[in-house]
Amino acid sequence: MIKSILSLTAVAALLAACGGQDDNADVDNTQGPVVSSSEAPRNEAVNTDPNMADGALTPGANSFTEEQARGAIESAGYTEVGPLTQNDQGVWTATAQRDGSSVEVSVDYRGAVTPAAN
């Protein structure tokens, strides 16, 4: 009997400590942490343009397979892509056709397809 009274008293004390809900209180229902309070972004945008050819290849460890590099070249409008080779800077290179001309074309680690300068 005493245990029941003590348990009931403990539950009542916990409920009293939690307090009642005030219907007039302003409730902020925001969930999760605030990531940034500034209006302007703090990082530069990533270039997602599928034709990232800016005339300069960027050397780096290439994670493309040969078939993925071939697909990038074909997506850039080249046809009849020849055998691909990868140099020590991670750049894939092949000969391909575009507008009736044979062109040497390269793909860097970013996926930028760049024709060789004539």
DSSP state of 57: -
Strand order in the sheet with 101-107: 85-86, 92-98, 101-107, 113-115
pLDDT, residue 29, reads: 61
pLDDT, residue 27, reads: 59
- Residue partners of 42: CB distance under 8 A and separation at least 6: 36
Rounded to whole angstroms, how far apart are CA atoms 68 and 59? Answer: 17
pLDDT, residue 46, reads: 46
pLDDT, residue 117, reads: 62
Q: Which residues of the chain have pLDDT under 70?
A: 11, 15-63, 117-118
**CA-CA distances (angstroms) from residue 86 to 32, 82, 102, 113, 117?**
46, 13, 19, 14, 18
Rounded to whole angstroms, how far apart are CA atoms 95 and 117? Answer: 13
**CA-CA distances (angstroms) from residue 50 to 38, 53, 55, 106?**
30, 9, 14, 15
Residue found under tokens 């809900």: 21
